[in-house]
Each structure stands twice: as structure tokens, then as C-alpha cells.
A and B are shown apart, each in its own frame.
Chain A
Amino acid sequence: MKTNIILSGVGGQGILTIAAVLDTAALSENLFIKQSEVHGMSQRGGAVQSHVRISDKEIFSDLIPEGKADLILSVEPMELLRYMPFLNKYGWLVTDSHPFINTTNYPEKEDLFNQIKKHPYHVIVNATEVAKTIGNSKVANMVLLGAASAVIPLSENSVIDAIKKLFQHKSEKIISLNLQAFYEGKKIAKASTDFVVNK
């Protein structure tokens, strides 16, 4: 078993929190993990990505080869498409529909969605809106993690424990917000797709 996940977004949008949950959960299941991330200049509002690899055997490359990602999980729709060369034939796309516009030539939202919908295995969630309804737009990343959880080879228990562990120094309220966001994302995705793919 080897699962390759690309997390994408804009510097500061919290993709490393998603990565940390995945890493922690995978280690708790005694799986191998490699997770590369971007530090430095690009963190200033630029395009950032993290490669997460989870396996029951030793993992060599810190980078996912092109064409080998099973999932691209993006907190921003244009940033999802930037990593399309990495997606494998049956890979899943899960993204927030809410754009982060900090450039003058940001494309039309509909053009982005049309591109995403060309790929049969996609879930588009208005995670930012869902998070706001729950009580804090910051937990949009956990909504997305929940939405993608069906294609992530980690048990729900270990993911939940990882979220609790990561936020253990924060208030009870923040922990429960994040958990609620995760469950809500999961529910929404389940309603929109059955995640069944003929491989």
C-alpha cells in the first residue's frame, strides 16, 4: 500500500496543518511517511504545495513522481489545477471552491471549475462557507480533509486523535470546531459522490 497526496494552496492558507494531521495519524498507525513542504520566499502569498506519501513499506523519494498522485487536496481551486501533471489516471481532486485572489490576472472562476470537472473524480466543496457556518473560516482546511478522508488510507480514529493531539494546547472550543469541520466535510462529500472508482 502506498498513497501519494499533494496538498496545495497559497502561502498562509494552512495546508501544513492538514499535512501535520496526516503525518501524525500515519505514524500512530506505524506506517512510513514522507512529507515535503515549502519554506522561504514562496510562503509570502505565493503558490505552495506539500507532497505527502504514506506507505506500509519504506519510502524513498521525498517528492511524488509526476502521474503518481492518488489525491490532490487543495484549499484553493486554481492551485489545484497547477499540480494536474502529478495526478494519476484514477486520482481524486478535492478542492475548496473559494478562490484566493491576490493577482491581477486571476482567471474566471467558472473556467477553473470547468477544467476541474473534466476529470471524473472530483469533489468541489465550498469549504470556506461551511467553515464560516460552523463558526470560523480558519477550519476550512479540516472541512476539506474530511471531504477527502474516504480516499485517504488512514482510520478515522487515528485522524481524529491526530487532530486532538495537534490542537491539544488550544482551547476545547478550537478542538471541537476542527472536529466538527472534519465531520461536516465528510458528510458533504459523501452526499455528492460515492468515491467508487473502477481501477
Chain B
Amino acid sequence: MKNLLLGNEALAQGSIDAGLSGVYAYPGTPSTEITEYIQRSKIAKELNIHTTWSVNEKTAMESALGMSYIGKRAMVVMKHVGLNVASDVFMNMAVSGVNGGLVVVVADDPSMHSSQNEQDSRFYGKFAMIPILEPSNQQEAYDIMHYAFDLSEELKLPVLLRMVTRLSHSRAGVEFKERRPQNDINLPFDTSRFALIPMNAKKQFDQLVNKKSILIEHSENSKLNNLKLSEDKDIGIIACGIAYNYVMENIGDDEAYYSVLKISQYPLPKNKIKKLYKHCDKILVVEDGYPVVEELLHNYFDDNDKIKGRLSGDLPRTGELNPNVVGNSLGIFQGNTRPIPEVVTARPPQLCEGCGHTDLFNTINELIPEIGNKNVFGDIGCYALGALPPLNTINTLIDMGASITMAKGATDAGMENAIAVIGDSTFTHSGMTGLLDAVFENSPITVIISDNSAIAMTGAQESSAVGRLYNICLGIGVHPDHLKRMVPLKKNHDENVELLRNELKYKGVSVIIAERACVRLSRDQKEDIKAKIASLS
């Protein structure tokens, strides 16, 4: 019997079987289950594979690079916006190159099911000039890991592996291969390529640019980029990653009549594309995310009218693909469908019953008539739901850590009573440095760290902030008189309102740690947290 796995789990098992020595990651939908699968894997434990969560995507990627530096195979996993956080090391390790195989797994979220944008990580791969792999199904997600690590070691470059939500979170039966042993420790022959002072960096950068032709050659010969020409010349389809499934769903039984180039490895195989272009009257580019390939094709050829896709309007410019929009772009009748009956109303997500964030927002809301209704800067986490009715507490939500620094910027320009609301894990991910900015200038802001002792939104993973928040704030330089704690419970409402009111009056940095464990934590997790706090004090 095949193994029933999510795309994310198939990829994770593939990495274990490809000789992985460590995974580094910060949770983020839709990427989280990759690391969780390896954390739960008995084999991974026996093999002593590193699986502990990192504080953010940048620290994760740097640690993975360190593991690669000594010759081992390492993987770093994040959601698409996490790559923005890690982009510094990402761009530079393309220049230094790697030693042991290093695979950067990034899960994009077209349609923004759980994200602020739908940025396409293939742009980053192209920007860094490294190979990109994009599996189309669960079995491919498993199989591709062996290839990804081999390719990384052969080219001495990191490999970007792009997933999308729909593949990450869909299950299918998957067959496993034989497991490859881990690499032995093997330090780089010449370490100077990892020391990117300008004289070394220039040499390395030239080498990276010169590798492009080798990368294209790999793409041309890759089994992952399969070109099939048929006699019919009307339309040639370029199907990237998961888009291949939506194409095949539609052409299924008539497959023989269509010319299809399946793309799962970049840079693009230019010769294969030219063959298809010459063979067909029209080219339809089907890709989930941004029109990356469609744009590149515009540079390759003169007759841009021949190239169809998201830019030409044949497919929607935004949002994830599905079998129906792809069918329409192929001119295949999709049938009449029923509408959603008008009686159906929206059911947006909301904070769990008994969630401490709700009581915190009620505390803040009580003071809004006094302080104005546009001064609450929010952050990334469950508490972002405080931007929705009935709470309507939070005014902004941009990126990890921006609550504190945006509040600071607003007060720099004269805003009074600015409040930043940030979760415990988001604070350690990207809030601490911003708090130091505020402390450095003693900016009149009130930071509320809503501490639920978990990375809650992604499934209550362990937070590196547990038991450390008070001392971190003290160490950063928050004055002890304005470093307060509250327990956001209904029965403490009046007392909490008073505490917040007083701190808002203080014209300097205040931090209030609002402590109440996430309701999603299991009893065991709560015991672990207690033990952790006890061990730290």
C-alpha cells in the first residue's frame, strides 16, 4: 500500500531519504507541516537529524548554510514572505556557493489563503541566479528531493524548491525510495569563497554569472522539463509546476492532440521553448503565481501576440489557478454551474472561544474613546483577527515586527498614545531589534506583547520566547518601572484598563506583557512550558 501524505509530508520524507542532516525553519502557512513531519519522524530521530525551530527565517537559513559549509545536506523551509526576511543570506550564499547540498524550500500562497501577498518565489530564484525546482504532484515532491540535493552538490549552489498551497496541503499515495546515507563531515577545500570580502566576492560573482549556461543545460536535459509535440499546431501549452495538473485535468483523454511543455526546473530550457514556439501558432503559459515565464517569453520572441497567459488576460492576473479557469483559457467548455444560494452568508475566521487576545482587545477598546481610534499597530499572528469585526481594534498589519517600528515612526511624527500589539513569537522573530530602536530614542510608545506561549496561528508550535520575554525587554533597556505584566482575563478587565491607561500616560517606552496561554495548547505542551519557565528562573 502507498503512503498517504500531504505534498509537504512527501517532500519532508524525500529529504530524509535523500540524506538530510538538518532542517531549519520558522513556522508559516503553507510550509509548516514539512518541518513538523521531520520532527515527528522516528527515523529522523534515530538519524539524529536536527529539527528544532529557529527564531526566524534568516537565522534558519544561516544555520542551514553552516551545516552545508561542513559538508552535510541541509534544508531550510519557510513560507514565501519568510524569504524576504532571509533574503540577505539567500542572495549572498548564491555568490559564495554551498558545500554540502542545500535546498531552500519556499511555499508560496497564491490567492493569499493565509498571507498578506502572493509574491512568487521564482523571482527570487532568478534574482539569485540559482536553479529552481517546482514539483507538480506529491510523488514528484518526494522524488525531487534526491535530485535537488544532488544538483546542489554538483553545481555547488543552493537550490530553490518552490511549493504552492494547493500541493502543500493536498494528500495522495506516495511510494518511497531507498534511503541514502548522510554525508560525512567534509570542510570546503578553499574557504575563501565563503569569505565575501570584495576581492573574493567579485571572483565568486563572475563564476556565478558564468554558471548560467551550465544551469540552462541542466534544464534542457532535465526529465522534469518534458516536451511533447503533437501533430496539431493550434496551441502549445507551457505548464509550470502544479499548473500541469490543471492542464491535464482538462485535456485528459485528448492529450494526444496537444503539444505540452511541462516545466518543473528553471532557468527555462530555452531550446525546448523555441521548439514549441516554432511548432505552434499560439503559446499558452499556465503558471500559478506571477506571470514569470510569460514575461520571459516576451523577451525571447518578437511576436508577443502569440503568447497568452495571465498578462494577455486569457487567465486571471491574480489568484490561484483552478481546473475551470485553465479549461476556459484552453477554450474548453466548462459546463453550466449553479450559483451559491443567496441565503448563504460569509463565515470569516475568528479568535477561538476563551482566547486571551479577545480580552486584551476588549481592554484596549475600552480606552479608544480616550486615545482615538487609529493608533493601534498590529502584527502577524492570530491577533491579526483583531482587525475584523466585532473587535476592530487593530489598524495596521504589514509584516513580522512592524507593529513596534511603525508605532515608533508615527510617534516620531507626533502621534500620541501609539500602541503596538505583537505576539511573543513574532516579538522574538523580528520585534526585538525594533524595540531597541524605540528604547534608544525613548519613543513614547506602549508595546503590548500578547504572550500566549506558542506560535499559535500555525498550530501552537514551541515559541522561543517562552520564559524569556521579561529579561529580553529588561536587557534591551526598557525601564523596570514601565515593564509590566497583565493577565488578560475578563475578571481582570478594570485593573488591566487602568494599567494600560497609566502606561499610555508615560512619555517613553512601556512594555506590557499580557500573559495567557493559547487555548490550543495541549495539557502536555502546557506542562512542558511550565518546566521550561522553571528551568530558566
Contacts and interface: CB of A to CB of B under 8 A. Distances in A.
A65 B323 contact: yes
A41 to B, nearest CB: 5
B32 interface: yes
Given A37-B169, A39-B169, A81 B344 contact: yes
A84 B339 contact: yes
A97 to B, nearest CB: 15
Interface in A50-65: 51, 59-65
Nearest to B4: A23
B47 to A, nearest CB: 25
B334 interface: yes
B339 A65 contact: no
A28 B343 contact: no
B42 interface: no
Nearest to A11: B349
Interface residues of A, number: 53
B341 A103 contact: no
A155 to B, nearest CB: 15
Given A40-B29, A60-B246, A63-B322, A78 B170 contact: no
A41 B114 contact: yes
B343 A34 contact: no
A82 B342 CA distance: 10
A136 interface: no
B324 interface: yes
B347 interface: yes
B113 A107 contact: no
A84 B338 contact: yes
A182 B233 CA distance: 53
Contacts of A30: 1
B134 to A, nearest CB: 15
B349 A41 contact: yes
Nearest to B2: A27
A10 B349 CA distance: 9
Interface in B134-157: 137
Given A44-B350, A47-B347, A23 B171 contact: yes
Given A40-B29, A85-B340, A60 B345 contact: no
Interface in A16-73: 19, 23-24, 27-28, 30, 32-47, 51, 59-68
Given A63-B323, A67-B335, A40 B114 contact: yes
Given A61-B245, A65-B323, A115-B343, A34 B171 contact: yes
A67 B336 contact: yes
Contact of A36 (B1, B166, B382, B458): B166
Interface string B380-396: 00100100001000000
A87 interface: yes
Interface string B113-128: 1100000000000000
Interface string B1-33: 110100000000000000000000000011011
A105 interface: yes
A102 to B, nearest CB: 7
Interface in A69-123: 78-79, 81-87, 102-107, 111-112, 115
A64 B2 CA distance: 22
B472 interface: no
B340 A60 contact: no
Residue of B1, B245, B344, B346 with most chain A CB atoms under a 10 A cut-off = B344
Nearest to B109: A40
Interface in B72-89: none
Contact of B1 (A28, A39, A79): A28
A104 B350 CA distance: 13
Contact of B171 (A37, A86, A107): A37
A78 B457 CA distance: 25
Interface residues of B, number: 52
B246 A61 contact: yes
Contacts of A36: 166, 169-171
Residue of A30, A38, A65, A111 with most chain B CB atoms under a 10 A cut-off = A65
B343 A107 contact: yes
B43 interface: no
Contacts of B113: 38, 40-42
Contact of A38 (B169, B323, B340, B350): B169
Nearest to B382: A44
Contacts of B33: 39
B248 A27 contact: no
Nearest to A20: B4
Contacts of A61: 245-246, 248-249, 322-323
A85 B4 contact: no
A65 B249 contact: yes
A66 B343 contact: no
Interface string B317-357: 00000111001000000111111110111111111100000
A189 B448 CA distance: 53
Nearest to B248: A60
A113 to B, nearest CB: 10
B458 A67 contact: no
Interface in B163-185: 166-167, 169-173
B252 interface: yes
B242 to A, nearest CB: 8
A102 B382 CA distance: 17
A63 B166 contact: yes
A42 B348 CA distance: 7
B4 A27 contact: yes
Given A27-B4, A67-B335, A81-B344, 18 more contacts: A27-B1, A33-B4, A33-B171, A35-B171, A37-B171, A39-B32, A39-B169, A44-B385, A45-B352, A47-B347, A60-B252, A61-B245, A61-B249, A62-B170, A62-B242, A67-B337, A84-B340, A85-B339
Counting from the closest, the 7 A-B pairs by CB-CB distance are: A40-B114, A40-B29, A46-B349, A36-B170, A62-B170, A61-B249, A65-B323
25 contacts: A23-B171, A24-B4, A34-B172, A36-B169, A36-B171, A37-B169, A38-B113, A41-B113, A41-B385, A41-B457, A43-B349, A44-B382, A46-B350, A65-B322, A65-B324, A65-B334, A67-B335, A81-B340, A83-B340, A84-B338, A84-B341, A103-B346, A103-B347, A111-B343, A115-B341
